[in-house]
Amino acid sequence: MVAKLLVADDHALICEAVTDAFKACGPGFEVSCVHDGLSLLGFLELNLETDAVIVDHDLPGLREADLLALVRERFPDVKIVVLTDSNDESVLQRARQLGINGWARKLETGEDLVRIVEKAIHGEEAFSVADEKARMSRPTLFANTSAGSSRLTHRQLEILALLADGFSNREIAESLDLSENTVKVHVHAVLKLLGARNRTQAVAAARKASLVPL
């Protein structure tokens, strides 16, 4: 079965290098390229069978948070692997909060990049070797709910606290300087992690688990 990939990077050399890395693996991958955020969204609209996007974290056209949130909202089955040359840990944390499936450095070997994307396509979280080592050395952030152990990021906990205070999505977006689309993605993730069908159930579960004040 051929995996259909989209590379989104404004540098032609990066697109070419990524494409070559997958071509070297044989006929198992079909790779297309675009060079800005709007083209990425347009391509996915016309190619709903795309399995994964490999996207530059600093892609022109749309703010990163908005772009990743839109891809996750409109194309929930598409796996997202962020490609970056940044060493800023906060960039990775923001991307993970938006529900990416993988993270790769632009200095990865072709073999490592293919490994990361293949893991993402198969539903696993996939990160570069260096980032995996760093991540394993830090404690995992999670919250225990009555339904079991649900992993919540700092941002999701912030949004959960505002939900408990009765904030609307628009008010949360204004309070945290996020777009409403980004907030919607986070709220959906919070509901899923807490096993809740709506905001009221999520807040009740959070209070029971002492994640927010009673």
Q: Which amino acid is at 136?
A: M
pLDDT of residue 150: 46
**pTM of the predicted model, to two decimals?**
0.62
Q: What is the pLDDT along the chain (214 residues), one digit of tens a residue?
A: 899 999 999 998 899 999 999 988 878 899 999 999 999 999 999 999 999 999 998 888 777 778 888 898 899 999 999 988 776 666 677 777 777 888 888 888 888 899 999 999 998 888 775 555 444 444 333 344 433 334 677 788 889 889 998 999 999 999 888 888 888 888 888 888 888 888 888 888 888 877 877 6
Radius of gyration of the chain (CA): 18
CB-CB contact of 103 with 92 (8 Å): yes
pLDDT of residue 132: 53
Tokens of 160: 């959960």
Q: Which amino acid is at 212?
A: V
Tokens of 110: 């072709």
Q: What domains sit in the chain, N to C, each tagged with a CATH number?
A: 3-136 (3.40.50.2300), 143-208 (1.10.10.10)
Long-range contacts of 144-152 (CB under 8 A, 24+ apart): 144/209, 145/194, 145/195, 145/205, 145/206, 145/208, 145/209, 145/211, 146/205, 146/208, 146/209, 147/194, 147/195, 147/205, 150/193, 150/194, 150/195, 151/193, 152/190, 152/193, 152/211
CB-CB contact of 94 with 186 (8 Å): no
DSSP string, the chain: -PEEEEEE-S-HHHHHHHHHHHHTT-TTEEEEEESSHHHHHHHHHH-TT--EEEEETT-TTS-HHHHHHHHHHH-TTSEEEEEE----HHHHHHHHHTT-SEEEETTS-HHHHHHHHHHHHTT--EE-HHHHHHHHTSPPP-EEETTEEE---HHHHHHHHHHHTT--HHHHHHHHT--HHHHHHHHHHHHHHHT-SSHHHHHHHHHHTTSS--
pLDDT of residue 123: 86
Report the Cα–Cα distance between both ends of the chain, in Å, rounded.
51
